Structure 1
């Protein structure tokens, strides 16, 4: 019998539930003995405990090094250096402090997650042992029944044995399911922790380790520091890979451009542009437009990062406007939710595209760089994506909107082409389907790749995008012009109407970014 331990036990449970009566004695005994041959929940608790201790020690060491860096390096440098050198030293010291804090937190959270998994192993084994006790008793009863003839058959004993067998296999299934769920949770938690690694993913020739650390630590202002880092670890990796595809002259030119930047934020946006697949010529033109504003991180955020994290997850489902110049990143009254979700998703990973939408290529020019002009460009861009993604039959018969297949195709064309990924459409028709797709959603979003998805009430559909995640909370962008934090439980159990009045509750299809 193949499959996982849980799948095998569930099949045995079904067979045990079905076998009863005089003719079922032998069959029931066979299934009980098959259950007894299944191994108990696996996992070396002693070895895992050692790893928990090692992770906690690493977290403690990060805290110790952070204290040392503050007292022995940062304070002494600030007391001796002045001017530009002191400012640069302070930036480097802060980046180092942030990285030590993040690393220590990752180690500590990993230790906690692994410790909870160790507890789950112990709980699963205890439940499994309890189940095996019931099975052993069932075997003794069934052995006695098997030795009797048809005229000595005792239905009461059979009922007792059957109940013991059902109790036993139910406990074993519960133990296996508990461990399976704990394993899945641990894998998801470790994936999230891995995605936090920033500086470790950057290996840019021409930049020393400290420069790379400062760039990886660059964030936009407005909320929790770590939630507003410009570069994801995945984007840093793509930038690194794309750098090595350049010619030697282009590589040298790009590194020179990075060294000429006025701020770590400007440097991070150049790397984000490289990660989005642009040429050095295009990136130089982009930098010429933002360079004069590079000393103002707030200006950069407003023009290049459409969604900045303000306060972290909110379980009250409060709406947070997504705006530029007082005008929303919204679809307006037209049926362009797919197009708008796609436009926002691309703007999130492509700073050149975001700048074109917010400024029309003329940053600082009041004729272009204002909310009303942005709204006109946004409307035109939605129509470009909308019209280009539909077919002539939809126009001929006056069918509004876009199909789920077209939603995937425009996400591939507009977004995936700038992330090195592609979008797979996953139909989710059950709670199990939505639970199964959730790890892929988490992985995509943790890598900075927005996930678009369709909700439906059977009569009409609506597309939105998942643009952020923290723990078990997902940040959903509604193309009506705002974001809302929803729980993963809301997603799995079709409660997406918490996003807003008129939003269908049921998730129907999910476009997952894959590499």
Structure 2
């Protein structure tokens, strides 16, 4: 519930408590000062604002989105017809391959567009229904309050006891309806905000805003997904990557731009091109990206190799997103990305650095020698992972066990923010209200590709850091540096009952690092 909703519920609670505190007696037939207090409470309740919004206007918007969904589906069918008919025989070799990529990507884009517009129509319709329901309950409550006030008449001091008691009972029911209206409005608004913000974050191709790229380039790059799961749940380029890579493209000199174009043109797959764009988004120089390109080029047409070496975490198709399911390991060739010792801050930061930065991921997985079994192996990877874990862990002050929230913020800036353009800010969330207020920022961050670090604990016990890396509906995806990803409900996050993400020792989030 928003702070406004909590405030309004708090106001209703105070009025209810004031009603209950009145010493009204049915046998009273004389002058009663408390009747005036009762009338004042009812009058104050009658000034309570109605839930805002126009259900009819919102429903009109829903119908517009539904029409757009139908149009997008028609486009999808047309594009699929082109794909099935085959490309012209003159489009062969590299040009034919790229034309095929564009056609497939355009078809998927149109399909996703239809789904998103349809989802928006549904959510707007639900919002309209929710507001209408909230306003109806509010109106019912107001009718009851007017009835209660009428029981008292104009000369409230002389109202007989039975009438005063009845007025209080009616007013109490009216306040219950007002509270129900607040809850309905809040529930409708929160769902709409969550779902529509998510849909906005998934409008991807337009985020790659560069005068150097065609619309076809944007569609193919935004569509490229890491191997291992549904492509639209494993896009290689986050919205942050799309924005930053376009910005860096436009800043290149003509000479550097020509050299970078040559790298893109030589790529064997959309995935390889997307990783080159991700390297640019991470802030690397042309020379560094050229060296990176040379390392991955032999495997450019092997999406599984690219994913294993460059994207540690993927959303797999068999993930049922059950609360507390800790079976989805994050591993390289069987070696799990997991902490060793009191290094949850360090290891979670290292993993998220690799998830955001393909050059760093390649160095960790291959030691800069892709294909060399002495370096490109799970055993060699573990040695390098331990070295990086120790390097980050040793930035702490002194030789204490674990790292503080301030140290977590610093390493997040140094290791992750440097490659995503984020400046992490420590925020205390030591109450359910604070955690609830933080949810919109958390959703915005992870949906743009910026992980959110948080510490969890039980009471004052030693804490454990994990990362929020995704959001779907009312669930949050968690990376635990014990080596797995899992899902928790937003309700469990708010209530501090998310032990399923780790253990009973760490159920309650108490502090977060939000990327700004």
Task: Name the TM tier (shorter chain).
Answer: over 0.9
> What do the CA deviations read for 1:452-501 (whole angstroms, capped 9, x no partner)?
11111232211111122222222211111111122222222222221244
What SS does structure 2 have at the residue aligned with 1:192?
A: helix
Q: 2:419 maps to what in 1?
A: 418
Give the C-alpha shift of residue 102 in structure 1: 1.0
Give the C-alpha shift of residue 104 in structure 1: 0.9
Give the C-alpha shift of residue 241 in structure 1: 1.7
Q: Distance in 2 between matches of 1:412 and 1:255?
A: 31
Match among 161, 170, 173 for residue 176 of structure 2: 170
What is the RMSD computed on CA atoms of the aligned residues? Answer: 2.0
Q: 2:336 maps to what in 1?
A: 328
> What do the CA deviations read for 1:266-303 (whole angstroms, capped 9, x no partner)?
11111111111112222112111111211111110000
The question of 1:77 aligning with 2:86 is answered yes
Greater shift after overlay, 367-376 or 473-482? Answer: 473-482
> What do the CA deviations read for 1:159-202 (whole angstroms, capped 9, x no partner)?
22122222212211220232123112211111100111111111
Q: 1:215 maps to what in 2?
A: 221
What SS does structure 2 have at the residue aligned with 1:244?
A: helix
1:18-417 to 2 correspondences below 5 Å: 18-19=18-19, 20-21=22-23, 22-71=32-81, 73-78=82-87, 80=89, 83-84=92-93, 85-143=95-153, 146-148=156-158, 154-311=160-317, 312-315=319-322, 317-318=324-325, 319-332=327-340, 334-388=341-395, 390-392=396-398, 395=399, 399-417=400-418
CA gap 1:405/1:106 in 2 versus in 1, 3 angstroms: same
Give the C-alpha shift of residue 145 in structure 1: 5.5
Q: Distance in 2 between matches of 1:243 and 1:26?
A: 72
Q: Distance in 2 between matches of 1:470 and 1:180?
A: 19
Number of residue-to-residue matches in the alignment: 500
Give the C-alpha shift of residue 83 in structure 1: 4.4
Contact conserved, 2:206 with 2:218, CA < 8 A, in 1?
A: no
Q: Distance in 2 between matches of 1:192 and 1:5?
A: 22
Q: 2:515 maps to what in 1?
A: 513
Greater shift after overlay, 82-91 or 172-181? Answer: 82-91
Q: Distance in 1 between matches of 2:309 and 2:505?
A: 29
Q: Distance in 2 between matches of 1:485 and 1:8?
A: 32
What SS does structure 2 have at the residue aligned with 1:415?
A: helix
Contact conserved, 1:29 with 1:139, CA < 8 A, in 2?
A: yes
TM-score (ref. length: structure 1): 0.92
Q: 2:474 maps to what in 1?
A: 472
Q: Distance in 2 between matches of 1:12 and 1:86?
A: 67
In structure 2, stretches of 5+ residues that fail to align are 24-31
Q: 2:489 maps to what in 1?
A: 487
Q: Distance in 1 between matches of 2:4 and 2:461?
A: 39
Q: Distance in 2 between matches of 1:91 and 1:369?
A: 30
What SS does structure 1 have at the residue aligned with 2:430?
A: coil
Q: Distance in 1 between matches of 2:47 and 2:504?
A: 54
> What do the CA deviations read for 1:401-449 (whole angstroms, capped 9, x no partner)?
1112211221122111111111122222222222221221111110111
> What do the CA deviations read for 1:340-365 (whole angstroms, capped 9, x no partner)?
01011111111111111111111111
Q: Distance in 2 between matches of 1:143 and 1:234?
A: 63
> What do the CA deviations read for 1:365-415 (whole angstroms, capped 9, x no partner)?
111111111000000101110101x113xx2xxx21111221122112211
Give the C-alpha shift of residue 313 in structure 1: 4.2
Q: 1:433 maps to what in 2?
A: 434
> What do the CA deviations read for 1:191-246 (whole angstroms, capped 9, x no partner)?
10011111111123333211221111111221112111101222101111222333
Give the C-alpha shift of residue 67 in structure 1: 0.8
What SS does structure 2 have at the residue aligned with 1:429?
A: coil
What SS does structure 1 have at the residue aligned with 2:140?
A: helix
Q: 2:11 maps to what in 1?
A: 11
Greater shift after overlay, 213-222 or 158-167? Answer: 158-167
Q: Distance in 2 between matches of 1:405 and 1:122?
A: 46
In structure 1, stretches of 5+ residues that fail to align are none
Give the C-alpha shift of residue 123 in structure 1: 0.7
Greater shift after overlay, 166-175 or 139-148? Answer: 139-148
Give the C-alpha shift of residue 109 in structure 1: 0.6
TM-score (ref. length: structure 2): 0.92
Contact conserved, 1:214 with 1:264, CA < 8 A, in 2?
A: yes
Contact conserved, 1:496 with 1:503, CA < 8 A, in 2?
A: no
Greater shift after overlay, 99-108 or 402-411? Answer: 402-411
Q: Distance in 2 between matches of 1:405 and 1:5?
A: 32
Greater shift after overlay, 206-215 or 312-321? Answer: 312-321
What SS does structure 1 have at the residue aligned with 2:284?
A: coil
Contact conserved, 1:426 with 1:512, CA < 8 A, in 2?
A: yes
